[in-house]
A and B are shown apart, each in its own frame.
Chain A
Amino acid sequence: GENVEQHPSTLSVQEGDSAVIKCTYSDSASNYFPWYKQELGKGPQLIIDIRSNVGEKKDQRIAVTLNKTAKHFSLHITETQPEDSAVYFCAASSNDYKLSFGAGTTVTVRA
């Protein structure tokens, strides 16, 4: 099955700086890569996703890049704000429904 590895496990950044989270996947058939943000006591919230026919996607301060050859994808958050503090999960899917999640990255934005 699909194996998704996520790094780093924790990330502390100064407010206003950028944050980058990286994930690798094992199944070359994977074609859908969503990113979720989870706040304490809440469910994962979809923040951005990308499909394998696209190399990069941007939504305001958030961007995701995908390298199919290397089988890795990354989340970039620019101009970080305290409300960006949360746990972020990457995921990959090859069959249109089963998401394999990374272990998560705890992001702390220091004011």
Chain B
Amino acid sequence: DAGVIQSPRHEVTEMGQEVTLRCKPISGHNSLFWYRQTMMRGLELLIYFNNNVPIDDSGMPEDRFSAKMPNASFSTLKIQPSEPRDSAVYFCASSRGQGQPQHFGDGTRLSIL
């Protein structure tokens, strides 16, 4: 079975530009998570969706960050405008439901120049 699919795998863009990261969760999973990984802060949960509804967005750093889940098989994380300090690896994960193991995609490595 296909795992969590993220695109693009790498993104390099100039500060001020809009960045959109995409995620396709594992089929049948109804919980979706966006994480950010940096050397300084490690792995941090940004936002959690359950049945396409955002449940906890307390980890979203600023209003420049937004996430949507229009259907059960697709989610986006958008940064507008982007800043150099947003450079990180962004992971999407999914699970069958609350309390179930989370399975991660291979991430998007984002560099903001």
Contacts and interface: CB of A to CB of B under 8 A. Distances in A.
Q: Do A and B bind each other?
A: yes
B55 interface: yes
Given A96-B99, A97-B98, A104-B42, A45 B48 contact: no
A6 B61 CA distance: 25
A97 B56 contact: yes
Contacts of A44: 43, 91, 104
A99 B91 CA distance: 13
A42 B101 contact: no
Contacts of B45: 98-99
B107 A43 contact: yes
B51 to A, nearest CB: 12
Contacts of A104: 42
Contacts of B31: 97
B48 A98 contact: yes
| Interface residues on chain B, size class | 20 to 34
A97 B93 CA distance: 11
Contacts of A46: 101-103
Contacts of B93: 43
Interface of B: 4, 31, 33, 42-43, 45, 48, 50, 55-56, 91, 93, 95, 98-99, 101-107
14 contacts: A34-B102, A43-B93, A43-B104, A43-B107, A44-B91, A44-B104, A96-B99, A97-B33, A97-B56, A97-B95, A97-B98, A99-B43, A99-B45, A104-B42
